[in-house]
Amino acid sequence: MDKKIVLLKDTSIGAADKTKEYYSLILNLLRDQNLQDSVQVVRVADIGFYDQGLVLKILPGQVTYGRVQESDLLPVITETIQGNKVLDRLALEPNEKQLRIVLRNCGQIDPENFDDYIAADGYAALKKVITEYKPEQVIEQLKASGLRGRGGAGYPTWMKWNFARQVKAEQKYIVCNGDEGDPGAYMDRSVLEGDPHSVIEGMMIGAYAIGASQGYFYIRAEYPLAVERIQKAIAQAYEYGLLGKNILGTDFSFDVEIRLGAGAFVCGEETALLASIEGKRGTPQPRPPYPSIKGLWGKPTVINNVETLANIPVILLKGGAWFGKIGTEKSKGTKVFALTGKIKNSGLIEVPMGTTIRDIVYHIGGGMLASKGIKAVQTGGPSGGVIPKEFLDEPVDYENLQKLGSIMGSGGMIVMDEDDCLVDIAKFYLKFCVEESCGKCAPCRIGGFQMLSLLENITSGKGTASDLAKMRRIALAMQKASLCGLGQTASNPVLSTLKYFAAEYKSHIEDKKCVAGKCRYLLNYQIIPEKCKKCGLCLTNCVFGAITGNREQGYILDPAKCTKCGRCYEVCKFKAINKG
Amino acid sequence: MIKLTKENFDQHKTGIPAVGKNWIKVGMSTCGIAAGADEVYKTFVEEAKKKNLTVDIKKCGCLGMCYAEPLVEVHVEGVPQVIYGKVNKDIAIKILEKHVGTKMLVNDYIFDLSLTMKKVGK
Ligand SMILES: Cc1cc2nc3c(=O)[nH]c(=O)nc-3n(C[C@H](O)[C@H](O)[C@H](O)COP(=O)(O)O)c2cc1C
Ligand code: SF4
Ligand code: SF4
Ligand code: FES
């Protein structure tokens, strides 16, 4: 018998991890069969399946068994390990929920090694395009692919390119938007750091298609490693003659420079971004004219997101039709998400469009972090909304997320459980937008501020019944009258939480209660006399003089003086302080 | 440095030496470095030299399992290729001794997501 390896992991949820016990059991059985030297048993930390009981994987061959019971162990050894027979009743189907197109090279190649990228078919698409394709043919391929912008709005990339291509101008530009300002998002950073050449190659193909001879990378200064890796990659491309004059000995010439963003969220908006590259203040401009007609220094300019560009080489190499088969009817390809929140496996994932939220949370994310139930999933960051758990089986694509009152956005995905207060979440995102508003237009500047103060009232127990209607009115004005996407979408988190979690708003306003226990000012602290051991620790720790008493008579907490700082709750060793 | 042209491009590509039989890749993106990937990388380089092991130590980008950083992927001839997570100096040494040295997998640190992902092939 060839040497075999058995990987094992107890994937049960909510019970103690018995991986070690099963490990010893298998070792003993193997010894009984005198197989201890030809089989290595290995405990693993993650086996890629969740809530499937004991999972065993036998290598070579990748036969994977789930819900394995103690009594199954002997048959697994004699029939599968020795006899190479698959036990159908235990076999698990591969859990192939992820598909890596954008992240194809991330974690595979050395991002600082030019030949690593070439060996992974790098610049092969560029070579094909500039030696075999006319610009129109590139755009045709993109049209067939159905690729839409990954920066948030989901505008068809081929249309943007086609507009810019059709304008006659002696100078055109292409810009990569690497500003990534959404809180919690780091998809673009990872691509820039992990596979910089693919973004450069995507940009060059775009430049060829529209007729641009100059490109800019706009990357936020808070991403020093991304900047360094792009810088190195650009220098390498120049050395090898892939940038500069007469690339690969053709008529195509193209230069690239890097511009650093100062980290203002609004600078990710395309017109503000262009102003910033021109050396002006990064404030938005009314559109039209759209940048693809009149952009940098008045010249036609295409702005694409990092992830959009990283898709381009694969599309041109494998063909637009191939890409067009992946995903849903109107959303093609894959989407990268930064999966975070109350989830076991937070990280960067890439899934075909149309994957359900449930698959993402439970089959990729490994399920919820604590035993607390899932409440909602937030997508689209400060411009997005929440999707409550009733919609876990909805597929993720542009249209569907919009229908649910959220947006695809650039790829932040935050999983929330019973401990998260949706009013508080809405306040967090709105506060972000208010702080990041450039102040140029009144609906965003004033509307955002007013809406935030209403939310602050609600979360501190001062909300009134008319507040919700007021917020809806302000939201409408901001959506309709703001100059740029920031103001137009800033109320989305509020509107979507109002839509699905109106009851939570109501209990904040009417009952002055926050069920999740998040809103500090709605909490009431009380000393439970039965549990109180009269140690006096709370008294010495309350700097507001809200606790009085002594070791004989016990202690009393005066709600009128209490500032709800939570200090007494934290210090009491006997859990004698009740919060609620 | 040669300038690549449409004529010599394919030749250059086929001339790139294949990766060594044994290699270790360390995820060195911002989050990996924040979790201590630098030290892990250094440990591999120094200890492999000390122990006279022939193994290429390489850097790579985000492997996606950011919850388990620092991440390293290990390929040794005759042993299945695996990813180890939450690696520190001690575990790095263990990987060299056990996985590279004696061709045995190390317990408790493998994150095996090989059946969860499809990659676009060449
Ligand atoms: C306030 C605001 C912030 C934005 N931030 C980003 C960003 O960080 N990255 C990005 O690619 N697009 C961002 N966008 C979208 C861009 O304006 C633009 O639509 C996008 O870069 C176009 O690229 P795409 O077609 O490839 O998606 C932002 C938009 C707004 C309104
Ligand atoms: S909507 Fe807000 S961020 Fe946009 S231009 Fe107006 S004030 Fe500035
Ligand atoms: S919550 Fe703070 S202010 Fe209130 S009683 Fe406890 S320690 Fe004092
Ligand atoms: S950035 Fe480190 S694994 Fe994702």
DSSP, res B64: S
Using the mean position of ligand 2's atoms as its centre, give its distance from the Cα of residue A302 in Å: 22
**Dihedral sign (CA A238, A243, A245, A246):** positive
Could you tell me the CA-to-CA distances from A443 to A483, A495, B118 in Å, in that order? 8, 16, 46
Q: Is residue A355 a contact partner of residue A390, using CB atoms and an 8 Å limit?
A: no
| Architecture in CATH of A523-579 | 2-Layer Sandwich (3.30)
Q: Judge if the upstream peptide bond of residue A559 is cis by omega within 30 degrees of 0.
A: no
Residues 6+ apart with CB under 8 A from A303: A151, A174, A175, A176, A177, A270, A273, A274, A291, A295
CB A274 within 8 A of CB A247: no
What's the pLDDT at A484? Answer: 95
Task: Let me know if A284 is exposed, middle or buried by CB neighbors in 10 A (0-12, 13-18, 19+).
Answer: buried
Indicate yes or no: CB of B112 within 8 angstroms of CB of A47.
yes
Interface contact flag, B108 A45, Cβ < 8 Å: yes
Q: How far is A393 from chain B (nearest CA, A)?
A: 19
Which B positions 23-52 lie with beta carbon below 8 A of chain A?
A: 25, 27, 29-31, 33
Q: How far apart (Å, rounded) are the C-alpha atoms in residues A530 and A519? A: 27
Domain with CATH 3.10.20.600 in chain A: 334-417
Report helix, strand or coil for A288. coil
Going across the sheet that includes A301-305, the strands are A255-261, A214-220, A173-178, A301-305
* pLDDT the model gives residue B121: 55
Q: Is B122 a residue whose pLDDT tops 70?
A: no
| Domain ranges for chain B | 18-102
- The string of DSSP letters for A328-350 reads -SSSBSEEEEEEEESBSS-EEEE
Q: How far is the CA of B27 from the centre of ligand 4 (A)?
A: 7
In A367-495, beta strands by DSSP E: 374-379, 385-388, 412-417
Cα A296 to middle of ligand 2, angstroms: 20
CB–CB of A514/A564 below 8 Å? no
The finding on whether B33 has its CB within 6 A of some atom of ligand 4 is: no
Q: A114-323 has which CATH code?
A: 3.40.50.11540
Mind listing the pLDDT tens digit of every residue in chain A (580 residues)?
Answer: 678 999 999 999 878 899 999 999 999 999 999 999 999 999 999 999 999 999 999 988 889 999 999 999 999 999 999 999 999 999 998 888 999 999 999 999 999 999 999 999 999 999 999 999 999 999 999 999 999 999 988 999 999 999 999 999 999 999 999 999 998 899 999 999 999 999 999 999 999 999 999 999 999 999 999 999 999 999 999 999 999 999 999 999 999 999 999 889 999 999 999 999 999 999 999 989 999 999 999 999 999 999 999 999 999 999 999 999 999 999 999 999 999 999 999 999 999 999 999 999 999 999 998 878 999 999 999 999 999 999 999 999 999 999 999 999 999 999 999 999 999 999 999 999 999 999 999 999 999 999 999 999 999 999 999 999 999 999 999 999 999 999 999 999 999 999 999 999 999 999 999 989 889 889 989 999 999 999 999 999 999 999 999 999 999 999 999 998 989 999 999 999 998 7
Q: How many CB atoms lie within 10 A of CB A537?
A: 18
| Cβ pair B122, A125 in contact under 8 A | no
Res B120 pLDDT > 80 = no
CA A189 to centroid of chain Cα atoms:
12
* Residue A556 phi, psi (nearest 5): -125, 140
ipTM of predicted complex: 0.93
Q: Return the CATH superfamily for domain A4-82.
A: Glutaredoxin (3.40.30.10)
Exposed e or buried b per residue across A129-141, where buried means at least 16 C-beta atoms within 10 angstroms of its C-beta: bbeebebeebbeb
Q: Which amino acid is at A370?
A: A
pLDDT at A117: 97
A303: helix, strand or coil: strand
Answer whether A35's CB lies under 8 Å from A77's CB: yes
CA dihedral (A397, A398, A400, A403) in degrees, to 10, reads: 160
Ligand 1 close to Cβ of residue A569 (< 6 A): no
Find out whether A35 and A49 touch, Cβ atoms under 8 Å.
no
Domain B18-102 fold: Glutaredoxin (3.40.30)
Q: Which of A497, A491, A348, A520 is nearest to A416 (CA)?
A: A497
Residues 55-94 of A with CB under 8 A from B: 57, 59-60, 62, 64, 94
Is residue B31 lining ligand 4, measured as CB closer than 6 Å? yes
A177 lines ligand 1 (CB under 6 A): yes
Which pLDDT score is estimated for A1? 61
Cα A17 to Cα A13, A67, A261, A471: the distances in Å are 9, 14, 47, 48
Can you tell me the distance from the alpha carbon of A453 to that of A90, in angstroms, rounded to the nearest whole number? Answer: 57
Q: Where in chain A is the domain with CATH 3.40.50.11540?
A: 114-323
Kindly state the tokens that stand for B104: 């045995």
- Domain A422-509 sits in CATH at 1.20.1440.230
The C-alpha angle with vertex A328 and arms to A326 and A331, in degrees rounded to 5, equals: 90
Instruction: Tell me if B33 and A239 make a contact (CB, 8 A cut-off).
Output: no
CATH 3.30.70.20 domain span(s) along chain A: 523-579
CATH class of A334-417: alpha beta
Nearest to A129 by CA among A26, A13, A247, A282: A247
List the beta strands (DSSP E) in A344-442. 347-352, 374-379, 385-388, 412-417
Average pLDDT of the segment spanning B28-55: 95
